[in-house]
Every structure is written in structure tokens, then in C-alpha cells.
Amino acid sequence: MTSEVELTLKEADEKDAQGLLKMLNQAKQETDYFIIDERSLGMSKEVLAVELTRIKESTEYLLFLALINEQVIGVVSVAPKSELPEQGEIGISILKEYWGMGLGTILLEEAIIWATENESFNTLVLDVLADNQRAIHLYHKMGFQEEARSNIELIEQDKVPTIKMKRTIEA
């Protein structure tokens, strides 16, 4: 017997701060593939709420959530790269319990649609750990191409191999 759940997709707002922090901290514990600025995880709920309001009001940033029963289970973000503002950098994370259900595809589709309609970016870019085959497969499926390989230094770890990927936005 399968039970149905209702998935809600929405742009994050200040009311999502606590749920987003909880989800991100859980995701960090569940996988070695999680790359995030540690300062983001240490942000207070109040500071994040202000940041979420700023992001929602911006035309250059997207923070899109997937929720089940009002619990944040996935997130995708798009932000301009500081050194190349015509490129939108994507970040995505999904709680492990929901891997393999198509949620990554849904969230990336939303980010690509938003970036295409937004017209601020000519390219979407992302970094993925080289051994994260599930994510690499998803990115290829969604039209991302490998651009370069490098090693990045993660907090608490030595340098790890990463792949830089990009997808051109078609007007």
C-alpha cells in the first residue's frame, strides 16, 4: 500500500527561516556531498528571516522550497556569481529520505524556468563533488555540461575533487 503525500513548492519567505535552517542542518548530517558556507548554518532564525525577505524581493536571487506537511524537504537557490554576475550559481539540497523521487528534477526545472524568465543570466553554473554520481547524472539530464575539474578545500576536510558544470540559458 502506498500513501500519497502532498508536495508544496514555493518561494521562501521569512516564515520559512526555522524550517529551512532545520532542513539544511539535517542535510549536512545525512551526506558527505553537502557543500555550504558554514556561516549560513550558524545564522539565527531572525537573521535568516531578514535575508529571506531580501531574497524574495530581489529579482537576481531565487530560493525555492519543496515542502511536505509544511516541513522543508528540499531547496534550490540561484544567485549571481560576484565575479561574473551574468552567471547564476545554483545550489540544491534534498533530505536523504526523499532522494530518488524526482524532486531534484522538479527543483532544477523550477530554477531553470525562473532564470530563463528572469533574463538576468546567460548561464547557470554549479559545483558538484566528483564522486556524487547521482547528482552528476541529474545535472547532465537537465542540460548541464562539464566545464572543468578542480579540487576545493572544504571546512573540516582536505581538498576534494569537484566538477564545475554549466548550462546556457536559451532566450
For the chain, which residues score pLDDT lower than 50?
1
Alpha-carbon distance of 9 to 106, in angstroms, equals 9
Q: Please tell me the predicted confidence (pLDDT) of residue 107.
A: 96
Alpha-carbon distance of 122 to 131, in angstroms, equals 28
CA 141, 99, 162, 19 torsion: positive or negative?
positive
Q: Tell me which residue has cell 569537484.
A: 162
List Cα–Cα distances, 80 to 6, 32, 95, in angstroms: 32, 25, 25
Report the candidate in 97, 99, 111 with the shortest Cα–Cα distance to residue 144. 111
Q: Please tell me the predicted confidence (pLDDT) of residue 1.
A: 47
Q: Tell me which residue has cell 554549466.
A: 166
Return the CA Rg of the chain: 16
Q: Please tell me the predicted confidence (pLDDT) of residue 2.
A: 56
Q: Please tell me the predicted confidence (pLDDT) of residue 42.
A: 67
Written out in words, the top-level CATH class of the domain with range 7-168 is alpha beta
The domain limits of the chain are 7-168
Q: Which three cell numbers stand for residue 107?
A: 527543483
The strand pair at 123-129 and 159-168 is best described as antiparallel
The helix-helix angle for 45-57 and 17-30 (nearest 10°) equals 100
